[in-house]
Amino acid sequence: GDPRHAALAPPAAAALYGLDVLRPEVEDDPDNTTRFVVLSRDAAPAPDAGKPTMTSVFFSVRNIPSALYKALGGFASSGVNLTKIESYQIGAGLGASRFYVEIEGHPDDERVALALDELRFFSTEVRLLGVYPADPHRLKA
């Protein structure tokens, strides 16, 4: 009820929460895909390995030359598709960065497990944020 607050959300969210839609279809490209993330303190069961699956990972690279190249090398050599990567600088310094990536595959798949092992070797921190079924829209691409 506070007019100073707004949200970008799918129409279903407006219906679910009784929100007024001020402007529909705000995307600048009809093929635009917006990701909505739901985080929980309690883990939800992951889909079975072998089915079309996505995995979201957060990691911090070591502060060494070519750290990102080395950290991501396991994905390339294992044939794991990286579909999204975002970088985040740690504080105001010029030290190592943090990254958010989305990959195709399940952590229990052999090729994904190998890639994550290599990522861990070249990183100071690796967190699996989620393992979830791939959206049918992604499968058509």
Question: Residues with catalytic annotation?
Answer: 34, 36
- CB-based contacts of 117, cutoff 8 Å, min separation 6: 74
Q: Distance between CA 57 and CA 82 in Å, rounded?
A: 11
Sequence-distant (6+) residues with CB within 8 A of 138 are: 52, 54, 83
**CA 53 centroid distance within chain:** 12
For 12-40, give one letter per residue: b (16+ CB within 10 A) or e: eeeeeeeeeeeeeeeeeeeeeeeeeeeee
The total number of residues shown for the chain amounts to 141
